[in-house]
Amino acid sequence: MSNQDYFDAISNGDCEKVEYFLNTPFFDINCVNNNNFTGLQLACYHGQNEIVNLFIDKNANVNFCIDKHQYSPLCLGALSRNFGIVDILLTNGANVQHTTSLKKNALDLMSLIGYFNMAHYILYHFPKSVLSWFGSLNNVKELDSIYEIFMITNISFINIIKKIEAMPDILEINENRINLQYELVKYFSTKNEKLSIKLHYISGIIYEISNIRKTISFKQIYKRFKNSTNSAYGCTIKNYIIEKLLRSFAFQHIDEFKLMMAIRNEVDNNQNIFVRYLYNVYPNRTPSCHVCDEDGIDLYKCSKCHKGQYCSKICQKIDWNLHKAKCCLLEKN
């Protein structure tokens, strides 16, 4: 079989055939096709997770590229909008600072095309193995849940609460969890200051929701936290938690925290300073969900008034009690 068969197998997602080539003695894992793409680059471009894993198992160089435009596997994985591939590459040493022939790195490319969720995933990524360095968790499921919620890209209150509701075990806070979260924040305060602030923020919300959940249901929690001018109490509880998180951050000497505090006067009272500083950093963002602020081009609108826009049925359901009066008025007009 020829090299063309090898590249066709990658494009078609034929894992068995690709594995056969990779196990062939003296096979050059860095051989290129007509576009000077290696097999790993092509697999990233086509979003073939399993095949990317095969290359990682064979110790392929995750930064190797000789194509005309210098698109690294990470750039191609990000452009294919595949979080799984990006996670694999970053965990195995992909260089975030690698630039294309246009002097754009993966973060630049994502913000250029308006895919901000991927940009933030790359910016705040850390390997799951880091969790096992500090303390001990009860089981693998708990570790997976903690990692998943720490890696979320949309850090609005509502979106974090949605994640917590889907993973109820995450509310079972114990001494090991508290130690783990503190050590993570401490570790990243010297490695990635913004990530340190993000982890402190998410950990604090989990702790607060854990306490609130003891007395009220998630439906009531959503009602209190829904960001609306008709819900003054919801805004009050959010501001209370934000102020508490700002005061309790243990590493207030770091530069990023000082910068965040410096812009507080520019932020509206109802706006979350953490979201403003850590997430809403790009101009010209794509349309977002009215409830959780999730970016997306696949948002759907309220079928009655066509004004309210949501990322999911869950968000529409959360918003309905506040939206229905406005909706009926708009429909009548």
What are the counts of helices (DSSP H) followed by strands (DSSP E) for the chain?
Answer: 17, 2
Q: What is the pLDDT of residue 18?
A: 92
Task: In whole angstroms, give the CA distance from residue 291 to residue 101.
Answer: 39
pLDDT for res 135: 60
DSSP 178-202: HHHHHHHHHHHTTT-HHHHHHHHHH
Q: What integer pLDDT is reported at residue 230 of this predicted model?
A: 41
Q: Is 168 exposed, middle or buried (0-12, 13-18, 19+ CB in 10 A)?
A: exposed
Q: What 3-state class would DSSP assign to 113?
A: coil
Low-confidence ranges of the chain (pLDDT < 70): 1, 135-138, 227-235, 267-270, 280-287, 290, 293-298, 306, 325-326, 328-333
pTM of the model: 0.82
b/e per residue 57-84 (b: at least 16 CB within 10 A) = eeebebeebebeebbbbbbbbbbbebbe
Distances (CA, A) of 311 to 117, 290, 307: 14, 8, 13
Amino acid at 64: F
- Predicted local distance difference test score (pLDDT) of residue 333: 54
Cβ neighbours of residue 322 closer than 8 Å, sequence gap 6 or more: 226, 228, 230, 231
In angstroms, the CA 43 to CA 13 distance is: 8
**Cα atoms in the Cβ-side hemisphere of radius 13 Å centred on 197:** 24
> Residue 171 and residue 240: Cα distance in Å, rounded?
20
pLDDT of residue 125: 93
